[in-house]
Amino acid sequence: MAAAADSPPPPPPSTAATSHAKSDQINKPPPTNPAPPLATYVFRLPREHIFRHPPPENAAKYEKLRRDEERRSRRRRCCLLLFLLIIAAAVSAAAIYLVLLSLSPSYTVTKIAVRGLNLTSAAPISPEFDVTVRAENPNHKIGIYYLKESSVKVYCDGEMLGYGVLPDFYQPRKNVTVVRATAGSFAVLLGGAVKTELSNAQSCGRVPLVLTVEAPVKFKVGFVKTREITAKAKCDVVLDKLSDKAQILSKHCHTALESRLLG
């Protein structure tokens, strides 16, 4: 046992043997069946098995979410527009309320000149009434715009004898404006009752007439204009005669404002 333990290690292989082994490996012929080269393979799958991005079920969900978002956006815009319209209506209503609380404009007839009203003629007549109207704006902070499409009408016993229009103009605050209009008619054939009424009234020196005025107006409150309001006036007038020199013996006028917003 001691001898085995003390035996020396085996000697290393010689250099000549190592060189001989390498030479054998170099001179070894190549293998008769070499490994095949790398190749590219193409796999064909059915169309229904091809995955898209996003998948069809996700695309449907996305489209539904997009439509829902568009509907919500439209609802938000509609709500905003409705809110703005409500605010605008409230401002207009407040302005009109302010106008109606303040002093209303007043109208009165100061002169009427009559021409062409021949009560003895059996033929049609074309009377004319030159009407002078005094418009007063007593408000200290409100101006009045008188718009087009106004009307002036003259009646006797319910029958219209003349029609005309007032000029459009702006009346500043705390102002009195005198306007003139011609109310006439063409080829009017007066009924027997009206002709008799006018003849008897002129013989008595008291001819009753009714004059109506309607004018679309807008009130200016600061920088704000109200919606269109119709100013109406009705005057019961008594003349001494039917001529261009007629004098007004008595008159009574009533003025009213009619707002479309207020019904």
Q: Could you tell me the pLDDT band of residue 261, with boundaries at 50, 70 and 90?
A: very low
d(CA 119, CA 99): 45
Q: How many residues are there in the chain?
A: 263
The answer to whether residue 262 scores a pLDDT higher than 50 is no
Q: Strand (E) positions, 185-223?
A: 207-221
Radius of gyration, alpha carbons of the chain: 53
Q: What is the pLDDT of residue 2?
A: 46
Cβ burial of 150 (10 Å; 0-12, 13-18, 19+) is buried
| 186-220 per-position pLDDT tens digit | 888 888 888 888 999 999 999 999 999 999 999 88
Residue linked to tokens 């009560």: 119
Q: What is the helix (H) or strand (E) element at residue 168, kind and residue range?
A: none
Cα-Cα-Cα-Cα dihedral of 61, 62, 63, 65, to 10°? 90
C-alpha distances in Å from residue 225, one per residue of 145, 164, 222:
9, 27, 8
Task: Say yes or no to pLDDT of 146 above 80.
Answer: yes
Q: What is the pLDDT of residues 86-117, one digit of tens each?
A: 888 777 666 666 665 567 889 999 999 999 98
Residue 150: DSSP 8-state? -
pLDDT at 3 (0 to 100)? 46
Q: Is the pLDDT of residue 263 over 80?
A: no
pLDDT of 58 > 70? The answer is no
For residue 248, pLDDT over 90 is answered with yes
pLDDT, mean of residues 172-180? 94
CB-based contact 211:197 (threshold 8 Å): no
- Copy the structure tokens of residue 51: 């995955």
> What are the residues facing 257 on neighbouring strands?
231
Highest mean pLDDT among 175-184, 214-223, 225-234: 175-184
Residue 36 has pLDDT above 50, yes or no: yes
Average pLDDT over residues 210-234: 88
Q: How far apart are CA 168 and CA 215, in angstroms?
A: 9
Domain positions in the chain: 47-99, 104-259
* CATH class of the domain defined by 104-259: mainly beta
